[in-house]
Every structure is written in C-alpha cells, then in structure tokens.
Structure 1
C-alpha cells in the first residue's frame, strides 16, 4: 500500500484499511518523530501534543497539501485578529480530505501587554568573581549581586549592578511588531487541527500546546519536585530544570536590554523555555540554556588603561569565553581553562602572562578553523 490516506470515494474503509492507517501513524511516531521536536508530552496529560514539525511530517507521509483561507479583522487600537481555515487535499488525486481552523490575536495577553521595567542604580560594579561563578552555580552568583532582582548591566563601558522590578502592566506600544507572529501562530494552529482531523489522529495526539492554560499557572497544584542530581555531562554543577530555566530567563533579559533581540523575539524565546519547563525535560532545558549562554556571556569589562589584577582577570575570562562563543573550544575545555586560571587570581604578573598565552592560543585556533573551512567547505562542526 502507498503512504497515503485511504481514498475510496463513496466506499467505506475496511477494518484492515483502518488498522493499516492507524498503524502507519504509530509507526511514523515511533520511528521518525522525535519527542520535543515533532510532539511533546505535557505533565498530567495522557496524550502527546502535536507540534508544527509533526504536522508537517504527517502531511509529507500521507501526501496532503494544505490550502489556507485567511480572514483578518482589524480591532480597536491597531489590534488584529487572524482566523484561518486550513483545507487539506491529496497531492495526487486533489481529493479534499479534511479541514481545520485556528485563530490568533494581538489581544492575547502575551502580545497585548508589556510590563514596565523599573531599574534602580546601585552604583556598585559587578564583582569579577561573578562571571566565573555564574557558569557553575547560578544561585551563588546571584547572591554576589545582591540576590533576586539584581543583575548586571553595562553602563559607560563598565558592568554595574542594577536592581530591577516589574512595573505596571501597560499596552504594548509596538503592537505592529506582533502582526506576523499572530498570523503565523493562527496558521500553525489551523494546520495542526486540520492534520489531526484528516488523519483521524485525535486518539493519538491532543490539541496544540498553545491552547492549554497559561504555563505560568500550576495545572496540577503540586510543587515541582526537586530534580535528582544526574550524571554531569557538561563539567558544571548539576542544576535542576528550574535553575536552568531561571538562568536562561536572566540571559534573555540581558539580550533584551542590550537590544540583541526585540520584545517579540524575547516573547518567542520565553514561550519556548516555558514549554520545555512544562514538559519537564531537563536535558532540553540545559541545551537551551547553553545556547542562550553563548549569546550573552561575550561582553565583559575591557579597559586596557587599568591594569589591575581584577581587570586582567576579567580580560582572561573574556578571551576564554570568546573561544567558546566562536566554537574554538568546547564546554569541557572552557571549564578546564577557567579552573587552571583560578590559582593565578590576584597575581598581576602571572595573569598578564596567561592573557598573552590565551591571545596566542586564540589566534592559532582561529587560523586552524579558517584552514579547515577552506579545506572541507564546512568548517569545524559545532
């Protein structure tokens, strides 16, 4: 039998044909689809949620082509709502096989509102030990800054400690930035709904994850259990999934403050972190944390006019981070370099020598990467 939905015209499907079709979906799920990429499991929910990538795999397998009917409604204060109907047709016969609907609006709270961010200057510099400690023990590093609500921010070329707090909820002044986001979200919801309907897969997959109650709420009423210490795969202290989440969120805030991402990008990244937290997938959360960490740890104080041991230490850490961010060393080597640097802390002469060695090593590794890229066309894999 071909990999397509059974198209029998007016004839009903036999039990054998229904069994084959259900088996094909289950085989696809077990052999091809990956958890947290094509579908996800929500704690307290018996059936997995189908993601956009999973819906596309179903369509590819059963040769289903989507066609979209888009309705846009302009709302007051420049808000918009998109209602989309997704119709699925068999690629070979053009027979209509199913339909789904989805909607999204900038009136949804995650798009409509923003919290004013209040910042209070402490006039204190970020301790040099923070950057190293932050790589292995987030909670201890946070205490160096002053605890919850305190974080680093670059002021006039120096990293200073600021105290942040959420202000009043206000209307999003840049609501037009969300138009494309809600359009794509409505399209995805309609596509997922259509695919589940056409494939009669609602007994296997449940609704799209965004249609569940807010991830901020406690769906089960139970406190999240502490994660047991597992095998340390990245030479750092084994964090709980909650610690990785909190660490990643602070990184997102730093990216937003530095205008490396806009508010819309921040919301998308934050939603993904909440999804992973809800799915209770610690390993995936750790990978997301490391991905974000590469983006926001490459900016450290750099003032060559002040050659104190503290400043040279920061320059060494910055150079090591630069190697990591440019994929010249891996996570294990990064932590080893910092560990070997630790005994020299406070010794101006030894730190200067180590900084020179790091500069030379960086140039050598950079040249090796360029040479490898010219040789194989792909460069050094991440």
Structure 2
C-alpha cells in the first residue's frame, strides 16, 4: 500500500473513532444551545447598527463591529490585537495592515481571527480623504475585520451572518445609484413609514407629495435618487403618453 493511501486510511479511522467516542446526548444538548443562542442574537441585534444589509450574491446579512462587540460582551470574552504585517509608505501614500484578533476568556485563548486592509481599496481611491490619514484608517479597518472574523467563529454564527462586508455593500449601493433608470426607481420597495411594503412606483401613483418629501428627506441615497427620477418632467411626459395609449378610441 502506498504511503498516501496509508495516511488516508489512518485519517478515516481517526475520524471514525472520534465519532464513536462522542457522547451523542451531549452533542444534541450543545447543538440545541447553539440554536437557542443564535435565536437570541437574531432577536437582540439591531439591523443597520449591529448588522448590515445583505449584499448582492449573499443570502445572509453582514455582521458589523457594534454587533460583534455585543456578542463578545454576552459571552464574557475580551479581545486583543496583534499587527502581523504592515506597509507604511508615506512618500507614495500607500498603507497596508494585516491584523490578528485574539479572543480570550479568563486569560485563556479561545480563537483568533484575521483581517487586512490597504489604501488601494476602492473605497479609499475617491480622493476625498487626506492620503496621510489613511494609515490610521486602514489599521482600524483591519482590526474591525479581524474582530468580526473571530466573533463569527467563536459564537457559531457564520450560518446566519457573513463577514463584515459593509464596504462592498457601499460600493454596490453607489453603483446602483449611478446606473439607476426609471424602471429601477419604480421597483424599489420601502420598509418604513405609512407606505411600508409598497414600491416607489405604487406610492407615486397614490401620493406624489410623499415622493417629493422622500426625495429631500430620505437618508437612503438610492431612495432619494429614485424619487428624483420619478419626479422628473421626462417621467411625467412618459406617464401622460402611457395613459393616452390606454384610453379607448373615440
């Protein structure tokens, strides 16, 4: 028998022995507790503050830093950080940090998480920030990503939350606003206020004053842009033409 085949057989036997020696009742109890803990977290954390929107391609919302901190507080776990790699080039304005987050309970290491950030990420290329302040910004972002990574592992929450991807959500939101057309605008559904659950197109037909109010007061940039599109003269002329096409012939 080849050495590789021997190793595979030893590994399979070892995995089987772990299962055979397992206390099934204890495992069942632990899984039930994990499920209960997940429910508590889902009912306790606040959307938009502790966890963010689901980004395109994911079925799970992203865990944010405040949510991770609350979870660790519930578990009685403290966090420490180590910079494991860094680049600080002030001449070219390039900064990069790789950070390890170490989670401890009663001075015992429970698990670790890794996070990285650098100033070439799209969110830092707008030119709106002082490039010499990006070193501190990237360090904080790397620490946050490491914290969330470790928290998802220690709390068995990776099946209900994904890694902190608020920056990806931000990029997609910006692209969504930039490429939005009238049909996109009409399909946007709101989840607040007296018209919660309705699309902007439906609200426009019912209460155009509210659309005008949203165009100025909404804190969601996509909703503001959509409402402004709906209120454009171009849309109104198209609407008149559409209604004319629906009128019966004389």
Q: Do they superpose with TM above 0.5?
A: yes
Q: Residue 49 of structure 1 aligns to a residue in which SS?
A: coil
Per the TM alignment, residue 244 of structure 1 is displaced from its structure 2 partner at its CA by: 4.7
Give the equivalent residue in structure 2 for 1:372: none
1:113 to 1:60, Cα distance in 2 relative to 1, 3 A: same
Quote the residue 1:189 is aligned against: 145
1:42 aligns with 2:54: yes
Structure-1 residue corresponding to 2:41? 28
1:72 match: secondary structure: strand
Q: Distance in 1 between matches of 2:92 and 2:76?
A: 42
Change (3 A) 1:23 1:177: same
| 1:74 maps to 2:84 | no
The separation in 1 between residues aligned to 2:139 and 2:32, in whole angstroms, is 36
Indicate yes or no: 2:168 matched with 1:180.
no
Residue 111 to residue 57, structure 1, CA distance change in 2 (3 Å): same
1:99 and 2:112 matched: yes
Match of 2:100 among 57, 72, 85: 85
Counterpart contact for 1:80–1:106, Cα < 8 Å = yes
Instruction: Report how far residue 72 of structure 1 moved.
Output: 2.0
Q: Equivalences for 1:128-207 in 2 at 5 Å?
A: 174-207=130-163
Higher strand share: 1
Instruction: Provide the secondary structure at the position in 1 that maps to 2:140.
Output: helix
Shift of residue 99 of structure 1?
1.4
CA contact under 8 A between 1:59 and 1:195: conserved in structure 2?
A: yes
CA RMSD of aligned residues (A): 3.5
Maintained 8 Å contact 2:77/2:104: yes
Check conservation: 1:227, 1:241, Cα contact below 8 A.
no
2:237 is matched with which residue?
none
Give the 3 Å change call, closer, same or farther, for CA 244–199 of structure 1 in structure 2.
farther
Give the TM-score, by structure 2 length.
0.59
- How far has the Cα of 1:113 moved from its partner? 3.8
Identify, as 1 or 2, the structure richer in helix.
2
C-alpha separation in 1, matches of 2:149 and 2:73: 16
- Indicate the SS of the match to 2:210: coil
Unaligned runs of 5+ in 1: 1-10, 116-171, 249-272, 283-382
| Residue in structure 2 matched with residue 238 of structure 1 by the alignment | 210
CA distance in 1 between counterparts of 2:97 and 2:212 reads 39
Q: SS of the counterpart of 1:100?
A: strand
Q: 1:28 to 1:230 in 2, by over 3 A?
A: closer
2:164 aligned to which of 205, 208, 222: 208
Q: Deviations over 1:229-288 (max 9, x none)?
A: 9539xxx9423797358x76xxxxxxxxxxxxxxxxxxxxxxxx66xx5xx8x9xxxxxx
Deviations along 1:31-62, one digit per CA (max 9) or x if unpaired, are x2111111123265321211111100110011
1:189 offset after TM fit, Å?
0.8
In structure 2, the CA distance between the partners of 1:237 and 1:183, relative to structure 1 (3 Å rule), is: farther
What number of residue pairs does the alignment pair up? 178
Q: SS state of the match for residue 223, structure 1?
A: helix
How far off is 1:17 after superposition? 1.5
TM-score (norm 1): 0.40
